[in-house]
């Protein structure tokens, strides 16, 4: 049946039903989004679960709206289903990437590899997860770039969840000159780090001697913290305190 024929056969009530269906579907989706956000906030439900439920309900509403509109237009849904069966193989090949992303997304949600709010890194892209869908995951980088990653990438490429554990280690590379007493400096750095109120007492802070270079001895000061979201901030604070300590030590040696 040609589109022009369908339009010619449509009655005023049919147009009203189609319009109401479209508007109703749009309003219901908006209401579901608002309701889920309010419910999730009130009952402290995981944001990832809220997004998944929203995606499922949204697509179900889309399907119901399409079925209603097709019935109003007098299109035989059974015939369409048969047609889809005939061209199913071709469609399957064309949509294999979409299907792969969908299946990968289901595995990510089932395995709880990461969730909304986590900081992940995959394919040299690092950022905070702001949205998880069935086909793709959206992250935002530290410089506010929004990156969309196909879910299949998490099945074919190794990825890092930087916030999987609440306890993280902060490493700070330091080079001290040869004229500075090594053992005393190591102990002073460890004492300084232990005195920081944001550094965990267990495991204890420690300094690792890495190598000897032309300008001095290369060290790595290692401390543990319980907030993976502030690693960059903690490293900066640690560097500031280490600089003060080494400057004061250098002045005393003069």
Q: In this predicted model, what pLDDT tens digit does every residue of 18-41 receive, in sequence order?
A: 889 999 999 999 998 888 888 777
d(CA 250, CA 126): 39
Q: Which two tokens stand for residue 182?
A: 């090594």
The per-residue b/e assignment along 193-226, b for 16 or more CB within 10 angstroms, e otherwise, is beeeeebbeeeebebeeeeeeeeebebebbbbbe
Give the fold, CATH level 3, of 97-161: SH3 type barrels. (2.30.30)
Which CATH number is 168-253 given?
Answer: 3.30.70.100
Number of helical (H) and strand (E) elements in the chain, helices listed first: 9, 8
pLDDT of 81 reads: 57
Among 65, 53, 67, CA closest to 24: 65
d(CA 190, CA 172): 12
d(CA 66, CA 62): 6
Overall pTM surpassing 0.75 (yes/no): no
Q: Give the tens place of pLDDT for each residue, 5-16.
A: 555 556 767 788
Partners of 41 in the β-ladder? none
pLDDT of 24 reads: 92
Q: What residues in the chain have per-residue pLDDT under 70?
A: 1-10, 12, 43-46, 48-49, 76-99, 110, 250-254
pLDDT of 185 reads: 92
């Amino acid at each position: 049946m040609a589109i022009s024929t369908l339009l010619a056969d449509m009655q005023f009530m049919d147009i009203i039903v189609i319009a109401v269906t479209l508007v109703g579907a749009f309003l219901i989706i908006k209401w579901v989004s608002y309701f889920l956000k309010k419910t999730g906030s009130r009952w402290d439900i995981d944001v990832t679960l809220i997004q998944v439920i929203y995606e499922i309900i949204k697509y179900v509403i889309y399907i119901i709206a399409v079925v209603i509109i097709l019935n109003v237009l007098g299109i035989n849904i059974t015939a369409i289903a048969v047609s889809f069966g005939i061209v199913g193989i071709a469609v399957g090949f064309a949509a294999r990437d979409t299907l792969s992303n969908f299946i990968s997304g289901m595995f990510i949600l089932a395995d709880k590899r990461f969730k909304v709010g986590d900081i992940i890194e995959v394919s040299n892209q690092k950022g905070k997860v702001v949205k998880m869908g069935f086909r793709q995951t959206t992250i935002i980088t530290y410089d506010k770039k929004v990156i969309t990653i196909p879910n299949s990438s998490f099945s074919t490429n190794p990825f890092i969840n930087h916030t999987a554990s609440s306890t993280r280690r902060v490493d700070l590379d330091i080079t001290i000159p040869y004229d500075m007493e090594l053992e005393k400096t190591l102990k002073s750095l460890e004492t300084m780090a232990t005195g920081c109120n944001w550094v965990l007492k267990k495991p204890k802070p420690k300094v690792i001697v890495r190598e000897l270079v032309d300008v001095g001895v290369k060290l790595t000061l290692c401390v543990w913290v319980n907030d993976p979201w502030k690693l960059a901030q903690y490293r900066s604070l640690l560097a500031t305190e280490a600089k003060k300590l080494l400057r004061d030590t250098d002045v005393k040696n003069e």
